[in-house]
């Protein structure tokens, strides 16, 4: 994990982040899983710009193997939150970060505006896909997210998002809508 941040011109903050995660499975585990599991590799890059309350980022991810199960994180999204965009796309078939079959490549764009350092309105757009050797598990994937965050105090935050995910597999196409409202109090 590496990051570089600087201020360019007057008040324009630019940040570049990158991460690599890798793991090596024990040969006994590979044998027990009938050689259906492989060592996992995860690559992510993200560039962000902030100016006068506006923020935008552009990034990409690569992880998994086409015909094998790989594991990137042990729990949920691990410590990768700053390098991911979207909300639900990483829970679709073939794209789970905590173990799934398939090679995943995603690119994303995020943008938002923060009013008076308390209310942020933003959107995420993620596009990519999963390649597998199994029919119906891979396909092109798209997610669009609209979000609002309100920082009431240093200890109390409110957030909401709407997510639309479309998965286009060869035999069929499906979509999933999700809404989350959250109040978070930090003790």
pLDDT digits (tens, 9 = 90+) for 92-115: 888 888 778 888 999 999 999 999
Which pLDDT score, from 0 to 100, does residue 4 have?
93
Instruction: Please tell me the predicted confidence (pLDDT) of residue 136.
Output: 64
Query: How far apart are alpha carbons 107 and 143 in whole angstroms?
Result: 11
Predicted local confidence at residue 96, as pLDDT: 82
The helix/strand/coil state of 89 is helix
Q: Is the pLDDT of residue 49 over 90?
A: yes
Nearest-CA neighbor of 152 among 177, 113, 182? 182
Q: Which two tokens stand for residue 46?
A: 């993200």
Q: What mean pLDDT do residues 47-63 have?
A: 95
Give the per-residue pLDDT at 76: 64
> pLDDT tens across 4-42, in order?
999 988 889 999 999 998 888 777 777 777 777 888 888
What is the arithmetic mean of pLDDT over 117-124?
A: 96
Q: Locate 76 and state its tokens.
A: 């949920």
- The CA distance from 64 to 105, in Å, is 9
Q: How far apart are CA 118 and CA 37, in angstroms?
A: 45
C-alpha 139/C-alpha 145 separation (Å) is 20
User: Residue 95: what pLDDT?
Assistant: 83
H/E/C letters for each residue in the chain?
Answer: CEEEEEEECCCEEEEEEEEEEEECCCHHHHHHCCCCECCEEEEEEEEEEEECCEEEEEEEEEECECCEEECCCCCCCCCCHHHCCCCCHHHCCCCCCCCEECEEEEEEEEEEEEECCCEEEEEEEEEEEEECCCCCCCEEEEEEEEEEEEECCCCEEEEEEEEEEEEECCCCEEEEEEEEEEEEECC
pLDDT above 70 for 135: no
Residue 170, pLDDT > 70, answer no
Which pLDDT band holds residue 163 (cuts at 50, 70, 90)? Answer: very high
Helix (H, G, I), strand (E, B) or coil at 79: coil
The more confidently predicted of residues 162 and 102 is 162
Q: Which residue has the higher pLDDT, 107 or 65?
A: 107
């Amino acid at each position: 994990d590496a990051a570089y941040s600087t201020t360019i011109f007057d008040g324009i903050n630019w940040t570049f982040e990158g991460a690599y995660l890798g793991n090596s499975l024990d040969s006994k585990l590979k044998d027990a899983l009938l050689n259906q599991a492989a060592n996992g590799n995860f690559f992510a890059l993200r560039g962000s710009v902030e100016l006068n309350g506006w923020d935008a980022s552009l990034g990409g991810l690569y992880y998994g193997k086409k015909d094998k199960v790989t594991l990137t994180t042990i729990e949920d999204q691990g410590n990768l939150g700053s390098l991911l965009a979207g909300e639900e796309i990483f829970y679709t078939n073939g794209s789970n970060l905590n173990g799934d079959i398939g090679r995943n490549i995603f690119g994303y764009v995020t943008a938002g505006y923060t009013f008076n350092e308390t209310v942020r309105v933003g959107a995420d757009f993620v596009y990519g896909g999963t390649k597998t050797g199994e029919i119906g598990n891979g396909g092109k994937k798209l997610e669009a997210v609209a979000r609002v965050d309100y920082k009431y105090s240093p200890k109390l935050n409110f957030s909401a998002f709407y997510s639309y995910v479309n998965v286009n597999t060869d035999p069929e196409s499906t979509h999933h809508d999700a809404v989350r409202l959250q109040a978070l109090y930090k003790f």
